[in-house]
Structure 1
Amino acid sequence: MNQAITFLTRKAGGQRANWLDYLTYAYLLLGVFLILIPVLWLALNSLKSPSQLEKQDLSLLPSQFEMVARATVVSPEGKEIFFIPDLPQWVLNWDDLSEAERAEHDTRAFLANFEGRELYALRSHLRMVSELVREMVEVQSLPEWLLRYPSMAQASKADFDVDAVLALLNDEDRRLLSEFLNLPPYEPSRLSLQILASALDPQTGEETLFGISNLKATREFTPARYVDNRSDEVLQLDTKSITIRKVFDPSWSNFSDPIKGEAFGVNVNFATCFTNSVLVTLIATVLTLLINSMAAFALAKYKFRGQVAFFIVILATLMVPPTITLVGVFKAVNATGLSGSIWGVIIPGAATPTGVFLLRQYMLSIPDELIEAARMDAASEWKVYWRIILPLALPALAALGILSVIWRWNDLILPLVAIATTKEAYTIQLCLLEFRGEHLSQEHYRLAMTMVSLVPSTLVFVFLQKYITTGIANTGLK
């Protein structure tokens, strides 16, 4: 920390900062600002709820409007639209709760506090209608075919007399069964969320609570209804006079559900993907350092026919785009039986021309006299490599190791070729693709898991960046 403070308070000369110091710090702050903005945006959006992301809410913080429940109930008297205020948050967010979270609440005890049209709307919203019908069929010994009736074909329904069964029931049970069977004059009740807003009542001039479906600042007027159900009239409120409240509401389930394997609509376990990526990265990095250092040692310290040609061929591969060799890699992985295994990701990328070039240039700076002295002391070539070359080339090895970790961790193309058919072997990058399907897009999960995937490579780069600068700066001194 002291070193950071000393660096940030350094001046070009003298006790007071001059215009060049201010310009330098302004440039530094601008660079940090430009780098951190995308990461900060990603972090904040990863905590937003699915509904906030779907609405493309441009708010910086994960928040939501204060909501109120609007119910729609259909009966023989017609359609009724009304509000049910002061409902607990878990009821309002019932559709977004997982099965484990729903099991934590006693819905029957909650419904016991309501009756009439509020009860009809809430039991449909909490998906209790089918469960209550099953109990009614069992207690009153009603025909079992009633439970299958909604899924029957239209021709099959003609074989059963539903009206005769309904005639045996009281009004409340008849309504419940009719909602389950979707029979007129009853329809399944609905409960939707609307934004709770306050504004001056156009009729009385008093501050009043209203429910609005959508708020657009560009519209001059916004349709709204009274929350206290004093009237069914739809009012036109002046948009500029509407006041709404937002509450900070981070969705931590965006992170916990995929890690636990409970993400809705996603059939991969992110914890397994994370483990696979760690294994691939560690093993591939070790192999990369071993193979590349051996090749670099031979090219830097041995003299043999075709040495320059080999080096030129290795450098030439740097100019070949990876997509050109993609078909060949795919065929090689299939031919060797590595398809569907993490070894199909590890082995093809073990040797890199960049690593060979980096290490070879660094090893050229190691004095040949050290190697000759070791050979005069009867050291084998393996000992020369292991005991002399590797320790002296440690800065370059560290730099290559860090780069290899970043390459392997963020690699998508090779896993897509080698293990795309085996979900158990998926790496992090392939798992992120699973959160966006043809019919279902789980952007909140993908943003959260992208943040998780950034953590390891960021930590490696932040804490070990001095090895990168040292290794690369000292490369090619000779």
Structure 2
Amino acid sequence: MNAVTTFLTRKAGGQRANWLDYLTYAYLLSGVLLILLPVAWLALNSLKSSSQLEKQDLSLLPTSFETVARATVSYPDGNQIFFIPDLPQWVLNWGDLSDDERAARDVSEFLSGFEGRDLYALRSHLGQVPSLVRDLIEAKNLPEWIVRYPSMSASARGEYDLDGVLTSLNTEDVRLLSEYLNLEPYEPARLALQVLVTAPDPVTGVETEFGISNFKATRDFTPARYVNNRNDDVVRLDTASITMRRTLDPSWENFTDPVIGRAFGVNVNFATCFTNSVLVTVIATVLTLLINSMAAFALAKYKFRGQVAFFIVILATLMVPPTITLVGVFKAVYATGLSGSIWGVIIPGAATPTGVFLLRQYMLSIPDELIEAARMDAASEWKVYWRIILPLALPAIAALAILSVIWRWNDLILPLVAIATTKEAYTIQLCLLEFRGEHLSQEHYRLAMTMVSLVPSTLVFVFLQKYITTGIANTGLK
């Protein structure tokens, strides 16, 4: 902490800061904000729920509005729309609960405290209608084909007397069976969440609770309904007078669901993708260091015909965009049988011209006398490379290792070419593409997993950056 304080209080000269000091710290601050603000925005949005992202909520923090349940129940004379206040959160979020969480709730006991239209709405919302119909069939000794009736074709339904069954039942049983079969006038009840707000009553001016479907601050008026069900009218509220209650509600399941394979609509397991990326990064980095250091040793310490031309050809490949060689890489991967395997991602990029150049320039600074002395002591060329060159070139090798980890971890083009047809071999970057499809977009999962994918490369760079600066700064020094 003292080192940080000392650094931040340094001055160009004198006891007081001058204009150059202010300009310098302003420049540093702007650079830090330019780098950190996008990452902070990504981190905060990764904790937002799917509904908050779909509504394009521009709030900075992952918050949620206090909600209330609005029910729609059908009757012979039309639909009734009303609110059911004070419902527990597990009821409001029933659609987001897992099967285990639903099984842990005593739904029958909960529904026993309701009757009438409230009961109709809640039993439909909690998915109790099918089981209640099966109990009704057993209790009334009704025909078993009723269970299969919703999935029958129109011609098959004509073979059964459904009207005769309905006429033998009382009104409550007719409603239950009609909701199950989706028959008029008793269609399935619906329960939707609306934002709970308070605003002056347009009639009395008293602060009253209302339910609104969505809130847009740019509108002058917002349509709303009374939560206390005093009437079914839709009233217009002055948007400026509306008060809403927000609570901090981070969605940690955005991180846990993809990792344990419970992400809805996603056909890949992120834990497997993470493991594949680790394997690709580690193995490819080891091969890159081995091959590049051998090539750099040969170019730096051996004299042979065409040495300069060969080195120029290697440097020239740095000017070739990767997209130009994409077709050639794909044909090579396919021809060698590596398509669909992580080896198709590891091997094609094992040798990099950047790594050869970086290590060669550093090895030029190693005195030739050390190599000659080793040879006079009967050391083999392999021992010279392994015992002398590699230890002395460790700063440059460490810098190349860190860069290779970052390159391999963030690579998308090569995995897209080599393993796009095999989901079991997907790396992290390919997995992130799976969270956005033609018919389903899981942006909350993609943002969360993007944050997870940033962690390894960020830690490598933050804690080992001194090796990068040391290795590159010393490159080419005699």
Query: CA-to-partner distance for each residue in 1:443-472, whole Å, 9 max, x for gaps?
Result: 000000000000000000000000000101
Equivalences for 1:43-442 in 2 at 5 Å? Answer: 43-442=43-442
Distance, in Å, in 2 between the alignment partners of 1:381 and 1:215 is: 74
**Cα shift at 1:78:** 2.1
**Cα shift at 1:162:** 0.7
Distance, in Å, in 2 between the alignment partners of 1:422 and 1:131 is: 41
5+ unaligned residues in a row in structure 2: which ranges? none
**Cα shift at 1:105:** 2.1
| Corresponding letter in the other structure for 1:426 | Y
Distance, in Å, in 2 between the alignment partners of 1:100 and 1:356 is: 55
Distance, in Å, in 2 between the alignment partners of 1:100 and 1:298 is: 62
Query: CA-to-partner distance for each residue in 1:176-207, whole Å, 9 max, x for gaps?
Result: 11101111111111111111110111211111
Distance, in Å, in 1 between the alignment partners of 2:224 and 2:356 is: 69
Identity %: 82
TM-score, structure 1 normalization:
0.98
**Cα shift at 1:9:** 2.0
**Cα shift at 1:138:** 3.2
Distance, in Å, in 1 between the alignment partners of 2:356 and 2:423 is: 33
**Cα shift at 1:124:** 1.1
Bigger mean CA deviation after superposition, 332-341 or 429-438: 332-341
**Cα shift at 1:77:** 3.3
Distance, in Å, in 1 between the alignment partners of 2:119 and 2:329 is: 63
What secondary structure sits across from 2:160 in the alignment?
coil
1:473 is aligned to 473
Distance, in Å, in 1 between the alignment partners of 2:138 and 2:154 is: 25
**Cα shift at 1:219:** 1.6
**Cα shift at 1:212:** 1.1
Distance, in Å, in 1 between the alignment partners of 2:43 and 2:108 is: 38
| Corresponding letter in the other structure for 2:228 | D
| Corresponding letter in the other structure for 1:168 | S
Distance, in Å, in 1 between the alignment partners of 2:144 and 2:237 is: 52
RMSD: 1.2
**Cα shift at 1:58:** 0.5
**Cα shift at 1:6:** 2.2
**Cα shift at 1:169:** 2.2
Distance, in Å, in 2 between the alignment partners of 1:220 and 1:213 is: 15
Distance, in Å, in 1 between the alignment partners of 2:4 and 2:382 is: 43
How many residues of Structure 1 are paired with residues of Structure 2 in the alignment?
A: 478
Query: CA-to-partner distance for each residue in 1:87-144, whole Å, 9 max, x for gaps?
Result: 1112112222232332332222211111110111111111221222123223433222
Bigger mean CA deviation after superposition, 10-19 or 254-263: 10-19
| Corresponding letter in the other structure for 2:475 | T
Distance, in Å, in 2 between the alignment partners of 1:101 and 1:59 is: 30
5+ unaligned residues in a row in structure 1: which ranges? none
Distance, in Å, in 2 between the alignment partners of 1:249 and 1:237 is: 27
| Corresponding letter in the other structure for 2:337 | G
